[in-house]
Amino acid sequence: MVEKAARARRVSMVDVAREAGVSQKTVSRVVNDEPYVAVDVRERVLAVIERLGFRPNAAARALVTRRSHRIGVVAMGGTTLHGPTSVLAGVEAAARRAGYTLSVIRTEPGGRDEIQAAVDALAGQGVEAVVISEPVDVGGAPIDIPEGVEVLTFGMGNATSHPRELVVGADESGCARDATDHLLAQGHAVVDHIAGPSDWLSSRSRTAGWRRALVDGGVAPPEPVAGDWTPAGGFSAMSALIDRGGCTAVFVANDQMAIGAMSAIQRAGLRVPEDVAVVGFDDIDVAAYLAVPLTTVRQDFAETSRVGMHRLLRALDGHVHDDLHRTLPAQLVIRASSTASPAAG
Amino acid sequence: MVEKAARARRVSMVDVAREAGVSQKTVSRVVNDEPYVAVDVRERVLAVIERLGFRPNAAARALVTRRSHRIGVVAMGGTTLHGPTSVLAGVEAAARRAGYTLSVIRTEPGGRDEIQAAVDALAGQGVEAVVISEPVDVGGAPIDIPEGVEVLTFGMGNATSHPRELVVGADESGCARDATDHLLAQGHAVVDHIAGPSDWLSSRSRTAGWRRALVDGGVAPPEPVAGDWTPAGGFSAMSALIDRGGCTAVFVANDQMAIGAMSAIQRAGLRVPEDVAVVGFDDIDVAAYLAVPLTTVRQDFAETSRVGMHRLLRALDGHVHDDLHRTLPAQLVIRASSTASPAAG
DNA sequence: ACGTGCATTGACTACGTAGTCATGCGTCGG
DNA sequence: CCGACGCATGACTACGTAGTCAATGCACGT
């Protein structure tokens, strides 16, 4: 039974004005806290607003001011990925404090086209800026951003056509390198790697850092095994590494896969860290509470989103940033999964 | 340097119309795929739209149609809670397919006022409906919903003033009861409980189910210990239970706390499940990959959000539902953390 | 008394789109 | 050949708000 859904007319400024015996414009002044309204008039209008339950019409306001006060978010990862989820929380808080509202589009990580479609959809809603939570590799052509729309990207940069795209993220490559160095320092001759999907920039950065640590340490990097960020993927990948033989240490591109990997190690009758040392990435909340607490890399997502949004909001106010990139510190958190010294080669 | 940010005028239907030699109204017809437009005219207009990069102005459209095509989401839990996050993904997908866009407000779970504020903010944006991901206890007064705004609530019902609030959720109380019964069936004389924050309805339902299972089994329910949904909270709560003594089985209100609890058990020199059996709730992705795989309750959040949004979208089309509540099945997933028979009393 | 200046207020209009209604034109049946 | 009818199109207007500018009134200094 599809009705025509004739929406009722809501209370408008004109209604308030009539009731209060003033002009619509004066109501507008009161609502926007403009000066040059007599105290008694202001109070009278406010009383009527309260009584009639008036709410300003956001669409009308956006139309006339050409400002939507809306920020679009492209959130990667259909499910529960740590990074994107954590960042979203921070972005929302910052936006709300600044009087902006958020439009969220989730997209399955699938490359350029999905993101482009999401950005287009957001642009159609009139967003003033777009926040891309985790850029995947855009394979050639950058994402096209309509004129007048600001861009903030979390993670490694530039994925878009915007000339002044803001980028905020941790030095994931450097952290991956630190993590790998840590394993090498424990006496492992070589460190294997379970990577994330290769179309994620984060994934590639982490793999790059791992590879550099090995190369700089004079070790030939073995072939990494790719996972899909999930525990199941980590389990399969680790099983493959065990079958290959000779694995004593593995750097895993995120914690969820690391948990899957530890499960595979245990299932194979091996121990963590005595037989195989494991290091993850992200420091998800359960990492410290596993049977073998997980060594991992912690990024301060709260700070990341805070800094990013601060810069974006300034840009929306017309400020031109000199430095478009900002790298935030991250920290290797050493726990039991990597610290028992293995039998020296 | 706060500039006045004089937004540039974007391409409008009038521009397209002039360029194509037709009226603005005809452009409107083409854009909205209305009938009664000659084929050649339609193609000419489409070509101009493409060439000028015209995008319909959502604000103007919303103003004149009195339809925002926007749905507001109140997402509970600042961080990475399983339920709210999973549901958000499903809601977004369904909304997008139906041509709706999403406004998201996150709120720290803090009770009635925060939710009311979020709903008010969304109403100010002109949303046609509000989705509340996880209702907390509203302590007396229901949440006030402005007229003309539909409501969908996930979880236990009714928290709002809306006379036709839609509610979709699993029978959490029943599942909690099943989980507790399962532990009793394993031979435990009594089952302890680590609860969630008491202002969450989900938390209270789970606790209620646990209590009923015990009462119906002729067992006096011990005092539950409350946690905060986090592993750290689960760890503390379990430590308290261990100190209390005599704990052989515990039903934990979510998986993250259950992981913390298992950590506490292990830290105390006890084993899972031989000394203490553990059952969680949610089936987060790592649950099956823990050193001791976790018995837990799995809800089908994808189906939950699908059903809920389907019903909400129908309501927005004017359909009046006879049954406002819908309960979806959930499933106890039995794994190693609960299955070894304990030493009989 | 008179001009000056500022506080206060409202009339008018633009913003971009869709609804309403009228009009032009071609076709078909009689 | 004429009237009826349906397709195709455009003129006009409403939607609710904020910007612009003019008008009013009052206090103050000369």
Number of A:B CB contacts under 8 A? 191
| Residues B283-313: tens digit of each pLDDT | 999 999 999 999 999 988 889 999 999 999 9
Q: What pairing do the DSSP bridges indicate for beta strands B129-132 and B70-76?
A: parallel
Nearest to A86 among B79, B88, B316 (CB): B79
Please give the Cα distance from B42 to A303 (Å, whole number): 51
- On whether both A254 and A189 belong to a single domain, the answer is yes
> Which residues, 6 or more positions from B217, have their beta carbon under 8 angstroms from its beta carbon?
B181, B184
Q: Which residues pair with A35 in a beta bridge?
A: none
- For residues A179 and A158, state if they share a domain: no
Task: Report the relative pairing of strands B70-76 and B101-107 from DSSP bridges.
Answer: parallel
Chain B residues in contact with A289 (beta carbon < 8 A): 231-232, 234-235, 259-260, 262-263
Mean pLDDT of chain B: 89
Residue-wise pLDDT tens digits, A222-272: 999 999 999 999 999 999 999 998 999 999 999 999 999 999 999 999 999
Residue A345: band (very low, low, confident or very high) from pLDDT cuts 50, 70, 90: very low
State the average pLDDT over residues B314-333: 92
A199 pLDDT above the threshold of 70 = yes
Question: Quick one: A307 and A256 in the same domain?
Answer: no
Q: Do B291 and A263 touch (CB under 8 A)?
A: yes
B270 lies in some domain: yes
For the residues A119-128, what does the mean pLDDT come to?
90
Residue with smallest Cα–C1' gap to D13 = B64
Pairwise CA distance, residues B169 & A231, whole Å = 27
Q: Give CA–CA dist B301/B86, Å, rounded.
A: 6
| Residues A276 and A253 occupy one common structural domain | yes
Name residue B71's beta-bridge partners. Answer: B102, B129
Strand C atom within 7 Å of B57 CB: yes
* Structure-token pair, residue A42: 């202001």
Q: How many CA atoms lie within 13 A of B332 on its CB side?
A: 20
Q: Which of A67, A85, A292 sits opposite B85 (nearest CB)?
A: A85
Question: Does residue A334 form part of some domain?
Answer: no
Q: Is residue A333 part of a domain?
A: no
Question: In terms of domains, do B239 and B324 share one?
Answer: no
- pLDDT one-digit tens code per residue, A289-300: 999 999 999 988
Cα–Cα–Cα angle for B261, B265, B270, rounded to 5 degrees:
160
Reported residue count of chain A is: 345
Give the mean model confidence (pLDDT) for residues B256-281.
97
A215: pLDDT strictly greater than 70: yes
CA distance B146 to B129: 10
Q: Are residues A17 and A137 in the same domain?
A: no
pLDDT, position A131: 94
Contacts of A326 by beta carbon, 8 Å cutoff, 6+ apart: A166, A167, A168, A169, A307, A308, A311
CA–CA separation, A252 vs B83, rounded Å? 26
Residues 9-48 of B with CB under 7 A from strand D: 21-26, 29, 35-38, 41
Question: Per-residue pLDDT tens for B53-68?
Answer: 999 999 999 999 999 9
Q: Is there a domain that residue B113 lies in? A: yes
**Strand-pair category, A225-226 with A277-279:** unpaired
Residues B74 and B86 in one domain: yes
Percent pLDDT > 70 in chain A is 91
**Whole-Å CA distances, A221 to A192, A209, A251:** 8, 11, 12
> Which residues make Cβ contacts (< 8 Å) with residue B61, sequence separation at least 6?
none
Residue A181 has pLDDT above 60, yes or no: yes
Per-residue pLDDT, A326: 93
In a domain, B335, yes or no: no
Domain check: are A154 and A201 in the same one?
no
Condensed to tens digits (0 to 9), the pLDDT of residues A2-15 reads 334 456 788 999 99
**Which residue stretches of B125-274 are H helix?**
172-185, 201-216, 231-244, 255-267
Q: Is the CB of B59 under 7 A from strand D?
A: no
Q: List b or e across B318-336, with b for residues whose CB sees 16 or more CB atoms inside 10 angstroms.
A: eeeeeebeeebebebbebb
> How many Å apart are CA A216 and CA A219, to the nearest integer?
7
Distance CA B338, CA B184 (A): 10
D14: residue with closest CA to C1'? B64
For residue B334, being part of any structural domain is answered with no
Say yes or no: B81 and B36 in one domain.
Answer: no
Residue A241 maps to a domain = yes
Among B9, B57, B266, whose Cβ lies nearest the Cβ of A126?
B57
Verify whether the Cβ–Cβ distance A146 to B56 is below 8 Å.
Answer: no
Q: Give me the residues paired with residue B279 across strands.
A: B251, B295
Residue A87 sits in the same domain as residue A124: yes
| Nucleotide with the nearest C1' to A61 CA | D17
Q: What is the pLDDT of residue A1?
A: 33
Q: Binning pLDDT at 50, 70 and 90, where does residue B158 land?
A: confident
- What is the per-residue pLDDT across B103-150, written as a single tens digit (0 to 9) for each? 998 887 667 788 888 898 898 888 999 999 876 666 667 888 988 899
Peptide bond into A342 cis (omega under 30): no
- Rounded to 5 degrees, what angle do the CA atoms B156, B221, B110 make? 40
Give the Cβ contact number of residue B186 at 10 Å: 20
**Distances in whole angstroms, Cα of residue B129 to Cα of each of A321, B99, B293, B339:** 38, 14, 40, 45
Q: Does the pLDDT of residue A184 top 80, yes or no?
A: yes
Asked if pLDDT for residue B345 goes beyond 50, the answer is no
Average pLDDT over residues A308-335: 93
Q: Both tokens of residue B66?
A: 């009195």
The domain that contains B45 carries what CATH number? Answer: 1.10.260.40
**Which of A16, A34, A65 lies at the terminal end of a domain, its last residue?**
A65
The answer to whether residue A196 sits within a structural domain is: yes
The enclosing domain of A273 has a CATH number of: 3.40.50.2300
Domain residues for A244?
172-300
The domain tally of chain B equals: 3
Identify whether residues B296 and B195 lie together within a single domain.
Answer: yes
Positions of strand D less than 7 angstroms from a protein CB: 7-12, 14-20
| CA A107 to C1' C16, whole Å | 30
Report which of A57, A20, A58, A61 is spatially closest to residue A42, judged by C-alpha positions. A20
In this structure, are residues A165 and A157 in contact, taking their beta carbons and an 8 Å threshold?
yes
User: At A13, phi and psi to the nearest 5?
Assistant: -60, -35
Nearest one of A280, A326, A70, A100 to B62, comparing CA atoms:
A70
Q: Are residues A189 and A268 in the same domain?
A: yes
User: What is the structure's pLDDT at B6?
Assistant: 53
What are the angstrom distances between the C-alpha of B217 and each of B180, B212, B277? 10, 8, 18
Quick one: pLDDT band at residue B156, thresholds 50, 70, 90? confident
* pLDDT tens, position by position, A54-89: 999 999 999 999 999 999 999 876 555 666 777 888
Which DSSP letter does residue B336 get? G
